[in-house]
Amino acid sequence: MSRAKDFARLPGFRDFPPEEMALRSHIFRAWRRVSRRYGFLEYDAPPLEPLDLYVEKSGEEIVGQLYNFTDKGDREVSLRPEMTPSLARVLGERSRAMPKPIRWFSIPQLFRYERQQRGRLREHFQWNVDLLGSDAVEADAEILAVALDGLRELGLGQDEIRARVSDRRLLAALLASLGVPDGSLLATYAVVDKIEREPEERIRELLTEQVGLEPAAVEGIIQLFQAPDLDEVSRRFSEDEEVARHLDQMREFLQVMEELGLGEYVDFDLTIVRGLAYYTGIVFEVFDRAGEFRAICGGGRYDRLLELVGGESLPAVGFGMGDVVLTDLLQERGLAPDYRREVDHFIVVIGEDQSPLARRVARALRGKGRSVVYGIRGQSVRKQFSAAANEGAREVIILGPDEVKREQAVLRDMETGEETEVPLQALLEGDPKEG
Ligand code: HAM
């Protein structure tokens, strides 16, 4: 076996050579701009956490995917698979003294030992935006608005993306009304999560055999999801006060999204339940409208998590948006920016005697904030010019022995090809007249 094979990248992990790094930075910059536009502050936490932070709180699906091990001090630890439990811990230690609501965001790299599939890797970066200390519907809407604006900022408009929104309280009330006992709610959510992907017969079978529901409840659920339109649900459950209350809340949420100018992006969709255990209210996922990709973003309200990790009881709502599906989508829609190398100046050195002078000029220009690269010893003049083109230099500064003797240098504008002479002194003061 060759050595190169031994050192291969692990499956599900990515390298980021400059072309790919440029796209990643482009995405991060957009995320940061939009976070600030909505008044969110950036935070971070350790990539390695105590294993206990995830067990129970995140739910079975994520726990089965943990990168966990025992460290040299016999601690059970895990790489972070998501940010929300860390956020809850950080705030648990300090939120009592903080003015509310708290608006925080972060862009952590996360690790999940996933089955490999398109759009899902074993590491990803995830934009997390969370608003804590308010249980108002406006807070939920504000959070979804940040997510949608983050995508709009990258060029994905109404034709490209849509958010599908539901509410676990509403679903719980509907299921209760259909005769699903409290103890079977979580198991029923897990089946509802599959409704879109599995045939009706399979859903019926799962609800009956796995969850253990009565035939009437099973049929009620099947029917409910055949026409899960807001008005239809409202008509069918008009007697149930609990359902009515949560439907009103959903209408209010949709109204606020409308006022924020994003109503067209949002669809009510009861099949969205989300895999994580801690959600307690509104839940949403954002998808490409064509339905080609997996979810770009998921989030919702989690009013009990902070208390669970030992903090004050603080209502909270937030989302995570991954960079993997988003990168694929931007590339496929031609929305990834052109990757271009760009330096302000390339200094071509003719004859090694000019090298010290090249370094002095480079230092002066860099001191003024310009980017400068110069020909490294041993490169022919021709090679230096092609290097200048490769670097995307705007201007080449030519230090030739004759000109230098006259205290001059030649500047070539790389776009027009025009050449002019400037006094060396100006360059040494970091002030190329043509620059
Ligand atoms: P999540 O749905 O597990 O939620 O992940 C959110 C997003 O992260 C997904 O929609 C997807 O874009 C991306 N993602 C997740 N797993 C992977 C993976 N293996 N590879 C690539 N991308 C992935 C959460 O993690 C919640 N903690 C979000 C949240 C924040 N809820 C409230 N605040």
Tokens 């009304």 belong to which residue?
Answer: 177
Which residue has its alpha carbon closest to ligand 1 atom 26? 320
Q: Answer whether 198's CB lies under 8 Å from 271's CB.
A: no
Q: What is the pLDDT of residues 122-140, one digit of tens each?
A: 999 999 999 999 999 999 9
Picking from 12-21, 268-277, 315-324, 382-391, which range would have the lowest pLDDT averaged per residue? 268-277
CA of 130 to the centre of ligand 1 (A): 13
CA of 322 to the centre of ligand 1 (A): 6
pLDDT at 59: 66
Question: Residues 414, 415, 418, 424: is their CA dihedral positive or negative?
Answer: negative
CA of 338 to the centre of ligand 1 (A): 28
Is the shortest distance between the CB of 104 and ligand 1 below 6 Å? Answer: no
**Bridge partners of residue 285, in order along the sequence:** 164, 298
Quick one: which atom of ligand 1 is closest to the CA of 82? 25
Indicate yes or no: pTM above 0.85.
yes
**Bridge partners of residue 70, in order along the sequence:** 76
Is the shortest distance between the CB of 129 and ligand 1 below 6 Å? Answer: no
**Higher pLDDT pick, 237 / 72:** 72
Q: Kind and range of the H or E element at 147?
A: helix 137-153
Q: How many CA atoms lie within 13 A of 420 on its CB side?
A: 10
> Helix axis angle, 185-192 relative to 168-177, nearest 10°?
110
Question: Residue 237 has which token pair?
Answer: 């459950």
pLDDT at 2: 60
Q: How far apart are CA 369 and CA 34, in angstroms?
A: 27
Beta-sheet pairing, 161-167 with 266-268: parallel
**Average pLDDT of the chain to the nearest whole number:** 93
Buried b (16+ CB within 10 A) or exposed e, 49-84: beeebbbebbbeebbebbbbeeeeeeeebbbbbbbb
pLDDT at 378: 79
Closest CA to 393 of 378, 376, 371: 371
Is the shortest distance between the CB of 303 and ligand 1 below 6 Å? Answer: no
With H, G, I as helix, E, B as strand and everything else as coil, classify residue 79.
strand
Q: What is the pLDDT of residues 272-330, one digit of tens each?
A: 988 777 899 999 999 999 999 999 999 999 999 889 888 889 999 999 999 999 999 99
Going by pLDDT thresholds of 50, 70 and 90, the confidence category of residue 227 is: low
Going by pLDDT thresholds of 50, 70 and 90, the confidence category of residue 26 is: very high
Q: How far apart are CA 119 and CA 328, in angstroms?
A: 8
Q: What is the pLDDT of residues 358-376, one digit of tens each?
A: 999 999 999 999 999 998 8
Going by pLDDT thresholds of 50, 70 and 90, the confidence category of residue 160 is: very high
**Bridge partners of residue 396, in order along the sequence:** 346, 412
pLDDT at 115: 86
Closest CA to 267 of 157, 146, 124, 163: 163
Domains belonging to the chain, first-starting first, are 18-332 (3.30.930.10), 343-428 (3.40.50.800)
Is the shortest distance between the CB of 299 and ligand 1 below 6 Å? Answer: yes
Q: Hey, how many other C-beta atoms are within 10 angstroms of the C-beta on 92?
A: 18
Quick one: which atom of ligand 1 is closest to the CA of 130? 33
pLDDT at 93: 83
Q: What is the pLDDT of residues 328-364, one digit of tens each?
A: 999 999 999 988 889 999 999 998 889 999 999 999 9
Is the shortest distance between the CB of 80 and ligand 1 below 6 Å? Answer: no
Q: Tell me: cis bond preceding 11? Omega within 30 of 0 counts.
A: no
Going by pLDDT thresholds of 50, 70 and 90, the confidence category of residue 435 is: very low
Is the shortest distance between the CB of 288 and ligand 1 below 6 Å? Answer: no
CA of 97 to the centre of ligand 1 (A): 29
- Alpha helix locations (H) across 165-240? 168-177, 185-192, 200-205, 215-224, 230-236
CA of 128 to the centre of ligand 1 (A): 9
Mean pLDDT of 400-428: 95
With H, G, I as helix, E, B as strand and everything else as coil, classify residue 401.
helix
pLDDT at 265 over 90: yes
Going by pLDDT thresholds of 50, 70 and 90, the confidence category of residue 434 is: very low
Burial (CB < 10 A; 0-12, 13-18, 19+), residue 249, is middle
Q: Answer whether 290's CB lies under 8 Å from 168's CB.
A: no
- Measured CA to CA in angstroms, residue 23 lies from 20, 27, 323, 325, 326 at distances of 5, 6, 10, 13, 11
Is the shortest distance between the CB of 120 and ligand 1 below 6 Å? Answer: yes
pLDDT at 174: 95
pLDDT at 212 over 80: yes
Which residue has its alpha carbon closest to ligand 1 atom 10? 297
Ramachandran assignment for 378, one of left (phi > 0), alpha (psi -120 to 50 degrees), beta (any other): left
Mean pLDDT of 414-427: 95
Which residue has its alpha carbon closest to ligand 1 atom 11? 322
Ligand 1, from 40, 57, 82: best to mutate by most atoms within 8 Å of Cβ? 82
pLDDT at 62 over 50: yes
